[in-house]
Protein backbone atom coordinates (compact mmCIF):
# COMPACT_ATOMS: atom_id res chain seq x y z
CA UNK A 1 0.00 0.00 0.00
CA UNK A 2 2.76 2.36 0.97
CA UNK A 3 4.06 3.12 -2.48
CA UNK A 4 0.96 2.72 -4.57
CA UNK A 5 0.83 5.00 -7.57
CA UNK A 6 -2.03 7.39 -8.30
CA UNK A 7 -3.43 5.02 -10.87
CA UNK A 8 -3.44 2.13 -8.49
CA UNK A 9 -5.21 4.26 -5.95
CA UNK A 10 -7.87 5.06 -8.50
CA UNK A 11 -8.34 1.36 -9.07
CA UNK A 12 -8.62 0.91 -5.32
CA UNK A 13 -11.31 3.51 -5.15
CA UNK A 14 -13.36 1.51 -7.56
CA UNK A 15 -12.88 -1.57 -5.40
CA UNK A 16 -13.98 0.34 -2.32
CA UNK A 17 -17.20 1.34 -3.97
CA UNK A 18 -17.83 -2.23 -5.11
CA UNK A 19 -17.20 -3.54 -1.62
CA UNK A 20 -19.58 -0.94 -0.27
CA UNK A 21 -22.31 -2.16 -2.56
CA UNK A 22 -21.61 -5.76 -1.61
CA UNK A 23 -21.82 -4.89 2.07
CA UNK A 24 -25.15 -3.18 1.60
CA UNK A 25 -26.46 -6.17 -0.30
CA UNK A 26 -25.33 -8.59 2.36
CA UNK A 27 -26.90 -6.47 5.08
CA UNK A 28 -30.21 -6.57 3.29
CA UNK A 29 -29.88 -10.33 2.93
CA UNK A 30 -29.20 -10.91 6.63
CA UNK A 31 -32.20 -8.88 7.62
CA UNK A 32 -34.33 -10.61 5.03
CA UNK A 33 -33.23 -14.03 6.24
CA UNK A 34 -34.03 -13.07 9.79
CA UNK A 35 -37.64 -12.48 8.77
CA UNK A 36 -37.82 -16.06 7.53
CA UNK A 37 -37.70 -17.19 11.16
CA UNK A 38 -35.41 -20.13 10.74
CA UNK A 39 -34.92 -22.31 13.78
CA UNK A 40 -32.07 -21.28 15.97
CA UNK A 41 -29.18 -23.41 14.71
CA UNK A 42 -29.50 -22.60 10.99
CA UNK A 43 -30.30 -19.01 11.87
CA UNK A 44 -27.07 -18.68 13.82
CA UNK A 45 -25.10 -20.35 11.07
CA UNK A 46 -26.53 -18.17 8.30
CA UNK A 47 -26.23 -14.95 10.30
CA UNK A 48 -22.67 -15.60 11.38
CA UNK A 49 -21.71 -16.79 7.92
CA UNK A 50 -22.93 -13.58 6.33
CA UNK A 51 -21.41 -11.49 9.10
CA UNK A 52 -18.09 -13.23 8.53
CA UNK A 53 -18.19 -12.46 4.83
CA UNK A 54 -18.95 -8.84 5.58
CA UNK A 55 -16.26 -8.69 8.21
CA UNK A 56 -13.87 -10.35 5.79
CA UNK A 57 -14.63 -7.76 3.14
CA UNK A 58 -14.10 -4.86 5.50
CA UNK A 59 -10.87 -6.33 6.82
CA UNK A 60 -9.51 -7.40 3.45
CA UNK A 61 -10.26 -4.28 1.43
CA UNK A 62 -10.90 -1.33 3.72
CA UNK A 63 -8.21 -2.41 6.13
CA UNK A 64 -5.98 -3.71 3.31
CA UNK A 65 -5.47 -6.95 5.16
CA UNK A 66 -5.33 -8.78 1.87
CA UNK A 67 -1.93 -7.31 1.12
CA UNK A 68 -0.61 -6.89 4.62
CA UNK A 69 2.80 -7.89 5.95
CA UNK A 70 3.62 -11.25 7.48
CA UNK A 71 4.14 -9.83 10.93
CA UNK A 72 0.58 -8.54 11.07
CA UNK A 73 -0.73 -11.91 9.93
CA UNK A 74 1.20 -13.70 12.66
CA UNK A 75 -0.12 -11.35 15.32
CA UNK A 76 -3.66 -11.73 14.12
CA UNK A 77 -3.32 -15.48 13.85
CA UNK A 78 -2.23 -15.65 17.48
CA UNK A 79 -5.14 -13.44 18.42
CA UNK A 80 -7.58 -15.64 16.58
CA UNK A 81 -6.26 -18.76 18.29
CA UNK A 82 -6.63 -17.22 21.72
CA UNK A 83 -9.99 -15.78 20.79
CA UNK A 84 -11.21 -19.25 19.92
CA UNK A 85 -9.81 -20.63 23.16
CA UNK A 86 -11.51 -17.87 25.09
CA UNK A 87 -14.87 -18.70 23.57
CA UNK A 88 -14.70 -22.47 23.36
CA UNK A 89 -13.06 -23.59 26.59
CA UNK A 90 -15.56 -21.94 28.95
CA UNK A 91 -18.33 -23.49 26.85
CA UNK A 92 -16.67 -26.88 27.07
CA UNK A 93 -16.41 -26.31 30.80
CA UNK A 94 -20.09 -25.52 30.98
CA UNK A 95 -21.03 -28.71 29.19
CA UNK A 96 -18.64 -30.91 31.12
CA UNK A 97 -19.65 -30.40 34.72
CA UNK A 98 -20.26 -32.94 37.41
CA UNK A 99 -23.93 -33.71 37.88
* Residues 6+ positions from 76 with CB-CB distance below 8 Å: 65
**Per-residue mark of binding to other proteins, 17-56 (x: CB under 8 A):** x-xx--xx--x--xx-xxx----x--xx--xx-xx--xx-
CA–CA dist 23, 98 (Å, integer): 45
Nearest CB to other proteins, comparing residues 10 and 66: 10
Residue pair 61/19 in contact by the 8 Å Cβ criterion: yes
Residue pair 61/16 in contact by the 8 Å Cβ criterion: yes
Sites of contact with other proteins (CB under 8 A)? 1-2, 4, 6, 9-10, 12-13, 16-17, 19-20, 23-24, 27, 30-31, 33-35, 40, 43-44, 47-48, 50-51, 54-55, 58-59, 61-63, 69-72, 75-76, 78-80, 82-83, 85-87, 89-94, 96-99
Amino acid sequence: MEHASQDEIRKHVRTYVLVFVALLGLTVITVAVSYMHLSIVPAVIVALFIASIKGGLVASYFMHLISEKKLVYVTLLLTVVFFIALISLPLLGYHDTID
